[in-house]
Structure 1
Amino acid sequence: MKSGQCLLTVEPYDGGYRVRIKSGDTVMFSSDTPVSLMIRTAGRNTEKEYAVCYEKLEGDGRTLTATATVETVAESLIRVTDRYYGDGELVTLERTVKTERASGSDEGFSSRVMFEYVGGTPSFDCMDWFVPGVWNKDPVMDSPEGVASSYGVSAITVKDTRTGLPMVTARGKDTGATLSVGRINPEISSDISDFRAKSHITDENYLCGSVGGVIRKNSGTVGICYCYPASEEPYGYFSDGKPVKRYHPVKDGFSSSYTVTLRADITDGYNEAVMSSYMSYFSASDIYYFDADVGAAYDECIKTMLDYYGTKKTDRMTICGLPYGCFVSDGHVESDLTMEMGFVGMEISAAYQFMRYGYLTGNSTAVSYGEAMADMWAENSGLPSGVLKTYLWSNGVFDSMPCYLRRMTDGMEGMLDCCRIAMSNGKEYKTWLSLAEKYADFLVSRQNPDGSWYRAYDYGGEVFSDESVKRYHQYYDKDGINPSSKNSTPIPIRFLVRMYEFTGEEKYRTAAEKAAGYVIDVLVPMGKYGGATVDGHERTDKETGVFAMYGMNSLYALTGEKKYLDAAEQAAVYAASWMMVYDYKIVESTVKTGEYFIENASLSGQSLITSGHSTVDGFMAYTYYDYFRLYLWTGNVFYYDFARLAENNSKRNLNYDGRLGYASKGLCLEAINAADFFFITSGNAKADNPGVWLPWCGIAHIEPISIMTDVFGTARVEDAVKQPASELAEKLKAFGAGGRRK
């Protein structure tokens, strides 16, 4: 059967049949024993592998059915039937495992579909790896808690529910031989919560598998595999550092079935392998697209944020803006008027949205709120060095934490928007623009010769370093903050392009293009991004990839140079891979918030945040305008479909129609973790009903709706796409990167 440039063949071997994947006459991957069963002994946390060839083949030219039987030491007899068929690109394997005869000492079984890399060594290092939202190429920049953070193990496998899409792609570094194994449209369910369960459990209702790689010491190779039921190695995230293994029961007549999809190719590099395989699996998936009422979502989010606006007089200033967050269940404010300029606070972006809403609707109160917020930050957050104080306590004191590129850039993008809306309405904005210009000038003056910036600076504008410990010791962790890392370089690019559009200052464009050169030359070849999630250690994350997409899209809009479009596509697919495109039922919640979510919301449209855990959030709601314009530029329907997913499915966790029972219709949960079939959310663990909303949650929904409406006259990509292509192109051109004067 054909798969891309490769051919899947079944041929005689050792008295039976094996499966091989070839490119021409060259064998790239082989499954000499295509049936691999792991048998668990009753009363023990031990297992024995039985690996055999196929015994019998039947085919009709379109499908191939292969069978094998395994007889265990305890004399259980298990029959495996595999059915193969393909479409020229993807090969589907349907497997059924049935116990014909059970022995009392054989308690459970799991099976593996595995292909060994013929050109490799018994080491993960001989290949580059990709598991969406979990494993990106190699251990570099992975979280220390990540399952793929160390290659000194015999297996790295993660269950379906920890991935954006349950698949693994592995590419031979020396040969370019590339194989993907995974599940399309997975049917996932469980009656037990892995969060509470033991490390080894046999349960016929556990319907969840795992993907990854296994070292095959006997053959001296590494295998790419899918395990069913799931096996998590070297550990699960809630297993105290131990492997987590699930089995189906060995009992007379019991059978289990599952389907995996294979894709083989020869690729020129890691990014090509990832992009082609992920888009292929995504496109083959029967994704459910929620039909969100985007207009209602906008209205409820902006109204909720206006309701939470507050002011407070202190000895130092009058604070005004949004509180740090609130509990969704009762609306109780968590931290009064403690606030962040950007990141999870997005105070200045909220100021812009208040002004925009106020001018559009004639709501002068909303305008005044936005102006007061912009004034407060413009008058109090600047420093002579050009860096910004970004975290304000409710007593009017700025926290002396590191000045991260992420927080500062978020804030100044919002400030530039405030300038644009003020100008278009004949209002004064010079103080606001002055702050944005000082920060942009700081970026120009402190840009490294290679085009990069550091992740975090001190108040003097120097890289946050050992010398800063005396002042900021409580925040300093050289192995965590990694302040001198250059991986955050993508973050300010869009801001600088927009500043160039607004001011005409060539220095901003030059700095943006220089930074893009660093991203293209250094970060794109890494195949991963990290550094934007500044509430934790630097690690691979989706948000830095989103900023890379923003920056490259902005430069492509400005220059039309293909190198920027190519880099934007790489970053866009990387970021997309962190979003969950499937659903499953959560088994357990101990709080009402979780019960409402289980019954009325969805995991599809939520996205993994960083490596090292399985927590998801709604951040990708921000992105649907940028994916839509990638579709308009490239014609690749993947970007249109992903834009629809980000636009609509992200709203399933938003209470805009009241179905979630939250205190306000503009609220949603800031983050949840349900990968272990147990509902966990952020917030005070001692609260009767935890679950918090932070201001960024509202901005993530409002911002792309605003941009889509300003550019195309409609908030929905489904409506915008109906406009003539020439009109859409002209509207994109007129908007540019979003910094032009109105």
Structure 2
Amino acid sequence: MKINVWNEQIQLENPELVIGRIAKPVILEIWNGRQKDSVIRREYPYTRITQTEDGLKACTEIDDEWAGKTEVTDIYRTEEGSVVLSRQVRILRESGYPGMRLRTEISLLPEKKNAFEDLRYFAPPAIYDKNDLDEDGYEDYFHTKKTIFRDDRFNYPMFTCYSEETKEAVSIERDPLPAFDSNPDRKISEETGEKEALFLQKTDIGSMGADGSDGSTRLTCCYPFYEGDATIALYIVKMVPFGAFWPMKSGEEFSVTYRISNHRYENYHDACWYGIRDIIRKTHPQAEPLSVSPEELIRLRLDALDHYYVEKTAEEDPNLPAGYVLNCHPQDGVQLENIIQYGFTGQNILNAYNVLRYGYEHNNEEYRKKALKTADFFVNTIHIKESGMFYNLYNVDTKSVNFWWTGLLLPLAYAQGEELEKLMGPLYEYRKDVIQKLVSLKGAYLRCMNEDVTALLRLYCYEKEKGTEHPGWLEAIENYAGFLLRTQEQDGGWYRAYDLEGKPLLEPVKWFGNTVYEQKSSTGTSITFLTELYELTKNEAYLEAASRAGMFVKEYIIDRVRFNGGVHDSIYAKGQLIDNESILYPMFGMLSLYEATKRKDFLDAAVRAAHYYASWVCLWDVPLPEDSSLHRYGFHSTGMGACDTCGCGYVHPFQLMGVAETAQIAVYAKDKELFDIARLYWLGCNQTVETDERPWGYAMPGLQEEGYLISWWAVDDPMFAADTGFGYRLKGEGNKTCFPWINAVGVKAYWAMKDRFGSVDFEEIENKYF
């Protein structure tokens, strides 16, 4: 890429076309101190441009009533096929306005089609393509063509735009990375009666994204940050402008540097993956080493889980419930609700598999008994013999099955009337239309059923290898497989949820979706179960159904980049999110189909899915406020996994679930950087387990918090007020939640690595295969 001055504009070019134009080189946003109608946009030309050995030096000297006397100096230089733009602002004399922000705008491909809907975007975890499942050209969750996010919402502060017409990918990134942040002093505004959403702050966090709101698309960066109306920072229910301004005092100065690059790629997937690969090659991200050995880690995890095991005698409950009801604030470890969940946040049968296997390997008879009782209860009571399905939830206190629909709306499972409204706060009114329909539904999520019946199948095979047959388990497994064969659609897909008679649930549309991508988003979760059942039984019908589902998932979910609906607890404008879990199961499915059939198209799809799954890893240490809990405990975000697009800036350890499979696909594909990401997930997502050697303030060793805020998320929303158990979710804090899935996926990763590689020593595996 080279730099030219064209018609008093800065032009970025490659030999074939103009990549971008900076038509308005100096844009300052002056803040008048108010919350409404408060930003004055001022545009200035360069007053002096000089050629340098490797680029340009451009200066603007301002002296007016808005910016006072301010000097802006921009250095452009070419470096390794990219253009580096270093910007410095010096305030020589203040104007009387309290703050300012520097804005950078680059018109993309100005001589080609460049409307927002013409381009595709990649800035994980904030945006995949356009987050546009209904394909109307707008981002779905905020219904906007202006997607600008804080730097700390990105897994790496880089935003890429890709043109299908030119096959060009244009990226802008922070280089060097943001180095500091703080919690600003936000006063109560007299205008709004709420905390300021616009404020002064010296922070190194900027924002970047694409703005196509006026018909043509510009890469847009702000320093300090600005997210505009499309932010989840302050509230879930309403959107307000949100941003910081640098104090405009004499002697103040600030600077920011961007790297702009472009590459030609044959398709969108390559643009996404090779961008990540190049970051890894350039920065060599390293996660924190484990505080104890992997073996000690799983011992601690299972010991903590065991504290939350519940079983009842026939006299107490004729259903003989048994399972792991872990649901607490990890800081105190006090159990909140005695609910046995299957799949998603509960993963009870996966936990039973982990406990049973550990019990055999360490001669722990108590563990084995508990695991077997948990599995027996699942088969005898949770299995619905008439339809072949499984319930998703059992309430131990009320001695009844229930229906798990909405995650954070979990009170639907145990509260009614005024108590329900009290527990859910403003969210109840916000979601009232959906809640009133869901609360009367009786059925189950496909994903949840598939997760724990797959674990039951593995449990059955493991016990069989140890010499014990469980014919009742196998009968339930095959009965469920029959349900899948009966309900598979002609296109190979399954619906997201079914009623107790096995009919698909499609209402409310806001929850179950109105596009094929949403309605059949969980199809991938069936594939591995069917392929593993085929390996056990050699029944070709199972492999045929899995293969048909594989072709559906490949075409609709992976190739079109329309993965969504893996997370079942959306509290946003839509019931289904683009999330890390909704690409994990297609990856599992493609891998299992390749290993069962050796078909190259399945391996290619597995690699592509793994690349998208890998994109959810955090590749840098986000700066945290020094007074935050995570900063005090020495938290590092590198290697942690992001959760979903709406909640970008929130990370969690779920990606442990796919560590071994990601590593295996990397070995098959000879893809070193993909293997590096499997290692990052293993280390980063195990980082926050409480150990004596590495405390995190949790009630006992082996506990781990569900998630961590490395950016702003709903900090002013009443449902997360400071006086609630889940309050004080500021940047640098945890979400104060602990569920059984956390230890389930952590131990599963260990067993899966041992089964596939005989080791969890990534250096040893790397030396063997790479």
- Normalised-by-shorter TM-score class: 0.7 to 0.9
Preserved contact between residue 182 and residue 626 of structure 2 (Cα < 8 Å): no
Q: 1:47 and 1:518 mapped to 2: Cα distance? A: 51
Query: For residues 432 and 148 of structure 1, do their structure 2 counterparts lie closer, same or farther at Cα, with a shift above 3 Å needed?
Result: same
Aligned to 1:103, the other structure's residue is in SS state: coil
Aligned to 1:158, the other structure's residue is in SS state: strand
The corresponding residue for 1:47 is 40
Given the alignment of the two structures, is residue 207 of structure 1 paired with residue 177 of structure 2, yes or no?
A: no
Query: For residues 519 and 688 of structure 1, do their structure 2 counterparts lie closer, same or farther at Cα, with a shift above 3 Å needed?
Result: closer
Q: 2:289 aligns with which of 291, 308, 314?
A: 291
Deviation at 1:458, TM superposition (A): 0.8
Q: 1:241 and 1:544 mapped to 2: Cα distance? A: 27
Structure 1: gaps spanning 5 or more residues: 1-6, 467-476, 726-742
The corresponding residue for 1:738 is none
Q: 2:467 and 2:556 mapped to 1: Cα distance? A: 44
Q: 1:185 and 1:703 mapped to 2: Cα distance? A: 37
Q: 1:696 and 1:183 mapped to 2: Cα distance? A: 35
Q: 1:542 aligns with which of 574, 580, 586?
A: 580
Preserved contact between residue 193 and residue 676 of structure 1 (Cα < 8 Å): no
Q: 2:545 and 2:119 mapped to 1: Cα distance? A: 36
The corresponding residue for 2:414 is none
How far does the alpha carbon of each residue in 1:155-192 deviate from its partner, in whole angstroms, 9 at most, with x for none? 32110122222221112343333211122562243232
The corresponding residue for 1:636 is 671
Deviation at 1:286, TM superposition (A): 4.6
Match runs of 1:586-735 below 5 Å: 586-587=624-625, 595=629, 598-614=632-648, 615-656=650-691, 657-676=693-712, 686-687=724-725, 691-723=736-768
Query: For residues 724 and 642 of structure 1, do their structure 2 counterparts lie closer, same or farther at Cα, with a shift above 3 Å needed?
Result: closer
Q: 2:227 aligns with which of 216, 228, 232?
A: 232
Deviation at 1:422, TM superposition (A): 0.3
What letter corresponds to residue 588 of structure 2 in structure 1? Y
Is 166-175 or 506-515 further displaced after alignment?
166-175
Aligned to 1:318, the other structure's residue is in SS state: coil
What letter corresponds to residue 500 of structure 1 in structure 2? Y
Match runs of 1:124-135 below 5 Å: 124-135=116-127
The corresponding residue for 1:399 is 402
Preserved contact between residue 347 and residue 452 of structure 2 (Cα < 8 Å): yes
Q: 1:194 and 1:648 mapped to 2: Cα distance? A: 35
Q: 1:429 aligns with which of 470, 487, 490?
A: 470
Q: 2:451 aligns with which of 404, 410, 419?
A: 410
Preserved contact between residue 193 and residue 678 of structure 1 (Cα < 8 Å): no
Preserved contact between residue 134 and residue 163 of structure 1 (Cα < 8 Å): yes
Q: 2:722 and 2:501 mapped to 1: Cα distance? A: 35
How far does the alpha carbon of each residue in 1:536-592 deviate from its partner, in whole angstroms, 9 at most, with x for none? 322211101111111112222233333222222322222222332222344388xxx
Given the alignment of the two structures, is residue 29 of structure 1 paired with residue 20 of structure 2, yes or no?
A: yes
The corresponding residue for 1:482 is 513
Query: For residues 296 and 94 of structure 1, do their structure 2 counterparts lie closer, same or farther at Cα, with a shift above 3 Å needed?
Result: farther
Query: For residues 281 and 559 of structure 1, do their structure 2 counterparts lie closer, same or farther at Cα, with a shift above 3 Å needed?
Result: same
Is 32-41 or 338-347 further displaced after alignment?
32-41
Deviation at 1:344, TM superposition (A): 0.7
Preserved contact between residue 27 and residue 104 of structure 2 (Cα < 8 Å): yes
Aligned to 2:768, the other structure's residue is in SS state: coil
The corresponding residue for 2:368 is 367
Query: For residues 290 and 488 of structure 1, do their structure 2 counterparts lie closer, same or farther at Cα, with a shift above 3 Å needed?
Result: same
Deviation at 1:595, TM superposition (A): 2.8
Q: 2:654 and 2:16 mapped to 1: Cα distance? A: 46
Q: 1:51 and 1:432 mapped to 2: Cα distance? A: 73
Q: 1:678 and 1:189 mapped to 2: Cα distance? A: 21
Match runs of 1:269-280 below 5 Å: 269-280=267-278
The corresponding residue for 1:731 is none
What letter corresponds to residue 479 of structure 1 in structure 2? K
The corresponding residue for 1:583 is 621
Q: 2:598 and 2:87 mapped to 1: Cα distance? A: 49
The corresponding residue for 2:250 is 252
The TM-score with structure 2 as length reference comes to: 0.84
Q: 2:167 aligns with which of 148, 168, 176?
A: 176
Preserved contact between residue 287 and residue 581 of structure 1 (Cα < 8 Å): yes
Structure 2: gaps spanning 5 or more residues: 188-194, 404-441, 728-734
Aligned to 1:692, the other structure's residue is in SS state: coil
Deviation at 1:449, TM superposition (A): 0.8
Given the alignment of the two structures, is residue 10 of structure 1 paired with residue 4 of structure 2, yes or no?
A: yes
Q: 2:721 and 2:751 mapped to 1: Cα distance? A: 29
The TM-score with structure 1 as length reference comes to: 0.87
Q: 1:195 and 1:540 mapped to 2: Cα distance? A: 32
Aligned to 1:327, the other structure's residue is in SS state: coil
Q: 1:111 aligns with which of 75, 94, 103?
A: 103
What letter corresponds to residue 703 of structure 1 in structure 2? K
Deviation at 1:425, TM superposition (A): 0.7
Deviation at 1:193, TM superposition (A): 4.5
What letter corresponds to residue 211 of structure 1 in structure 2? M
- Percent of residue pairs bearing the same amino acid type: 22
Deviation at 1:362, TM superposition (A): 1.2
Query: For residues 349 and 456 of structure 1, do their structure 2 counterparts lie closer, same or farther at Cα, with a shift above 3 Å needed?
Result: same
Q: 1:377 and 1:195 mapped to 2: Cα distance? A: 51
What letter corresponds to residue 3 of structure 2 in structure 1? T
The corresponding residue for 1:530 is 564
Preserved contact between residue 122 and residue 221 of structure 1 (Cα < 8 Å): yes
Deviation at 1:382, TM superposition (A): 1.9
Deviation at 1:524, TM superposition (A): 2.3
Is 435-444 or 350-359 further displaced after alignment?
435-444
Q: 1:278 and 1:653 mapped to 2: Cα distance? A: 25
The corresponding residue for 2:438 is none
Aligned to 2:525, the other structure's residue is in SS state: coil
Deviation at 1:271, TM superposition (A): 2.2
Match runs of 1:17-96 below 5 Å: 18-22=10-14, 24-41=15-32, 45-53=38-46, 55-61=48-54, 64-74=56-66, 76-85=68-77, 88-96=80-88
Query: For residues 365 and 107 of structure 1, do their structure 2 counterparts lie closer, same or farther at Cα, with a shift above 3 Å needed?
Result: closer
Preserved contact between residue 24 and residue 105 of structure 2 (Cα < 8 Å): no
Preserved contact between residue 624 and residue 631 of structure 2 (Cα < 8 Å): no
Aligned to 1:514, the other structure's residue is in SS state: helix
Is 662-671 or 650-659 further displaced after alignment?
650-659
Match runs of 1:139-538 below 5 Å: 139-141=131-133, 149-150=141-142, 152=144, 155-183=146-174, 186-193=177-184, 198-203=196-201, 205-215=202-212, 217=214, 221-237=216-232, 238=234, 240-292=238-290, 293=292, 294-313=294-313, 314-336=316-338, 338-383=339-384, 384-394=386-396, 395-400=398-403, 401-465=442-506, 477-482=508-513, 485-536=519-570, 537-538=575-576
Query: For residues 716 and 402 of structure 1, do their structure 2 counterparts lie closer, same or farther at Cα, with a shift above 3 Å needed?
Result: farther
Preserved contact between residue 18 and residue 109 of structure 2 (Cα < 8 Å): no
Aligned to 1:385, the other structure's residue is in SS state: coil
Aligned to 1:10, the other structure's residue is in SS state: strand
Is 537-546 or 606-615 further displaced after alignment?
606-615
Deviation at 1:258, TM superposition (A): 2.0
Deviation at 1:51, TM superposition (A): 4.3
Q: 1:172 and 1:122 mapped to 2: Cα distance? A: 8
Aligned to 2:261, the other structure's residue is in SS state: strand
Is 133-142 or 227-236 further displaced after alignment?
133-142
Q: 2:185 and 2:371 mapped to 1: Cα distance? A: 46
Preserved contact between residue 672 and residue 682 of structure 1 (Cα < 8 Å): no
Query: For residues 688 and 629 of structure 1, do their structure 2 counterparts lie closer, same or farther at Cα, with a shift above 3 Å needed?
Result: closer
The corresponding residue for 1:137 is 129
Preserved contact between residue 647 and residue 713 of structure 2 (Cα < 8 Å): no
What letter corresponds to residue 414 of structure 1 in structure 2? A
Query: For residues 129 and 319 of structure 1, do their structure 2 counterparts lie closer, same or farther at Cα, with a shift above 3 Å needed?
Result: same
Deviation at 1:349, TM superposition (A): 0.7
How far does the alpha carbon of each residue in 1:298-324 deviate from its partner, in whole angstroms, 9 at most, with x for none? 121122122332212344311111114
How far does the alpha carbon of each residue in 1:115-171 deviate from its partner, in whole angstroms, 9 at most, with x for none? 433145674212112221122212424999x97635555x32110122222221112
Preserved contact between residue 44 and residue 60 of structure 2 (Cα < 8 Å): no
Aligned to 1:480, the other structure's residue is in SS state: helix
Query: For residues 148 and 140 of structure 1, do their structure 2 counterparts lie closer, same or farther at Cα, with a shift above 3 Å needed?
Result: closer
Query: For residues 353 and 138 of structure 1, do their structure 2 counterparts lie closer, same or farther at Cα, with a shift above 3 Å needed?
Result: same
Preserved contact between residue 312 and residue 319 of structure 1 (Cα < 8 Å): yes
